[in-house]
Structure 1
Amino acid sequence: METLQSSLAQATAFWTNIVTNNSPQKIEFVGTLVIQILFFWIPSIIYLSLDVIAPSFSQRHKIQPAPKQPTRAEIFRCFIVVAQNQLLSSILHIALLCLASRSSYRIEVSLPNFPEIVRDFLLSLLMREALFYYSHRLLHIPYLYVRIHKKHHRFTAPIALAAQFAHPIEQIFANALPISLPPQLLHSHVLTFWIFLAWELFNTVTVHSGYDFFRNKAKMHDLHHEKFNLNYGSVGLLDWVHGTDKLEKKRKE
């Protein structure tokens, strides 16, 4: 108990020092960028490296066979596009912070309490599910699919980095906003936002990884990339509500 209290006191002191000596805009931007590196870029690189560092383990857990896997050239192209999307998101983030002249989230010396973190995390999860599900289904309308979303579906056997291999419009309105907007609407503490962001980034990297981890989560999204007309959501709740959790059968003439 004393160890826990001591650790909490140290964390509080560390956070107090950050808030006291930095502007809210700087804290939000730098912290968000660090979370993206730790929970998107590093896990993506680890998943992509499994073929090299653990080939037998990789083959046992890979969902789709070798002939369907992307080439090195396609993976390099994916890296370039995702890096461009990361740069775009960062530039827009800086611009919004400059225009607003304040942080989008609560940044204060005190740490958020545990019940508040759990409440805001769960509410953000539900709000994100709705925002992502309906924006994703909208992108599957033929007019928008051909012009925007088809780029993301280039990887019929997805890889971790392909989670953000997307048209710039999709990157902003289907990838970034459904995650960043719910904690803003809830006026969440920035630390709660970072916890939520970390979870969502790691989750999307994992479901795009092409590996069968975490109770078929990757298989569900892998099937979406293969068949296109099911599993539009993140947690699966709205897929269950709308019946898009099952493969749509072809109608008989």
Structure 2
Amino acid sequence: MEFFGSQDLLVMFMPIVVYWVYSGMYELLGSMDKYRLHSRREEETKNLASKKEVVKGVLFQQAIQATISFIFLKISGNSNEATTSLDASFMVVARQFFIAMLVMDTWQYFVHRYMHFNKFLYRKVHSWHHRIVAPYAFAAQYNHPIDGVLVETLGGAAAFFLSGMSPQTSIFFFSFATIKGIDDHCGLMIPWNPLHILFTNNAGYHDTHHQLGGAKYNFSQPFFVMWDKILGSYAPYTIEKRMDGGYEARIRKEI
């Protein structure tokens, strides 16, 4: 294979393209105030990072992510390529997707949770992400660079290698994972959203984690909630209508 072929470029950059296109669509939908979990004023007053800072931070993280993805591809020599390809059976690809989802969820849960309970790491690293108290779509990947590598990049690498998927299949998987991560941070509870129907780990669930009283609950991301339920960090919540329009995610558990 070429040192820097079209497949490498797609693996590296397709999730980035998907990120900005999909989050851009949510920015347009943000005008639908009746579905917002936070008012526009809350978005402006509660968040501790400006949107300009968020864009710069996300682009920097994505540059690091693309570089590490390229290095992993070259080190692995595309060893997974013989396992499956785009013309592999649906069941093979579905199995690999499911394994990758479980691996990514497991990795991200434990590293994410540790980031919260280690005071030094939270203060110096993970607190960057929690500058966004009222989440919105293109802030989904706003992290400290170390946080982005430890939680997302290495979690993605583990999912890729342990699932046995090919680089071609990984393009679709990581694009889907990107869409899911944006959806979890979009700040909108749209009733016809298929991801909210398929996954209980959704925008409302993750919004509770970003609330000041929920930082030690609902760590699971991006797909399932099993680790929160197994390890006692699950906080039930309700979605209620606000008097001034829109919705609010409220934690039911006493914390």
Fold shared per TM-score above 0.5: yes
Q: Matched residues, percent identical?
A: 22
Offset at residue 171 of structure 1 (A):
0.6
Q: Which residue of 1 aligns with 2:77?
A: 102
> Residues 36 and 187 of structure 2 are in contact (CA less than 8 Å); yes or no, is this contact kept in structure 1?
yes
Offset at residue 110 of structure 1 (A):
6.6
> Residues 70 and 155 of structure 1 are in contact (CA less than 8 Å); yes or no, is this contact kept in structure 2?
no
Q: In the superposition, relative to structure 1, how do residues 173 and 28 fare at CA in structure 2: closer, same or farther (>3 Å)?
A: farther
| d(CA) in 1 for partners of 2:220, 2:158 | 17
From 145, 150, 159, the equivalent of 1:173 is 150
Q: What are the Cα deviations for residues 2-48 of structure 1, in whole angstroms up to 9, with x where unaligned?
A: xxxxxxxxxxxxxxxxxxxx537524421123421343111111212
Gaps of at least 5 residues in structure 2 are: 191-195, 236-250
Q: In the superposition, relative to structure 1, how do residues 223 and 110 fare at CA in structure 2: closer, same or farther (>3 Å)?
A: closer
The AA in structure 2 aligned to 1:106 is E
| d(CA) in 2 for partners of 1:66, 1:236 | 29
Q: In the superposition, relative to structure 1, how do residues 46 and 222 fare at CA in structure 2: closer, same or farther (>3 Å)?
A: same
The AA in structure 2 aligned to 1:166 is N
Q: In the superposition, relative to structure 1, how do residues 181 and 28 fare at CA in structure 2: closer, same or farther (>3 Å)?
A: farther
> Residues 206 and 218 of structure 1 are in contact (CA less than 8 Å); yes or no, is this contact kept in structure 2?
yes
Q: Which residue of 2 aligns with 1:50?
A: 29
Q: Taking structure 2 as the reference length, what is the TM-score of the superposition?
A: 0.79
Is 1:245 aligned to 2:234, yes or no?
A: yes
> Residues 124 and 182 of structure 1 are in contact (CA less than 8 Å); yes or no, is this contact kept in structure 2?
yes
Is 1:225 aligned to 2:213, yes or no?
A: no
Q: In the superposition, relative to structure 1, how do residues 97 and 131 fare at CA in structure 2: closer, same or farther (>3 Å)?
A: same
Q: In the superposition, relative to structure 1, how do residues 241 and 82 fare at CA in structure 2: closer, same or farther (>3 Å)?
A: same
Q: Which residue of 1 aligns with 2:141?
A: 164
1:212 aligned counterpart, secondary structure: coil
Q: What are the Cα deviations for residues 100-154 of structure 1, in whole angstroms up to 9, with x where unaligned?
A: 2723641687722211101111111111111010010011022210010000000
Q: What are the Cα deviations for residues 132-188 of structure 1, in whole angstroms up to 9, with x where unaligned?
A: 100100110222100100000000001112111001111111012212322212321
Q: Which residue of 2 aligns with 1:152?
A: 129
The AA in structure 1 aligned to 2:27 is L
| d(CA) in 2 for partners of 1:27, 1:143 | 41
RMSD, matched Cα: 2.4
Q: Which residue of 1 aligns with 2:100?
A: 124
| d(CA) in 2 for partners of 1:179, 1:91 | 14
Is 1:78 aligned to 2:54, yes or no?
A: yes
- Structure in which a larger fraction of residues adopt helix: 1
Q: Which residue of 1 aligns with 2:109?
A: 133
Q: In the superposition, relative to structure 1, how do residues 144 and 34 fare at CA in structure 2: closer, same or farther (>3 Å)?
A: closer
Q: Taking structure 1 as the reference length, what is the TM-score of the superposition?
A: 0.79
From 35, 52, 59, the equivalent of 2:33 is 59
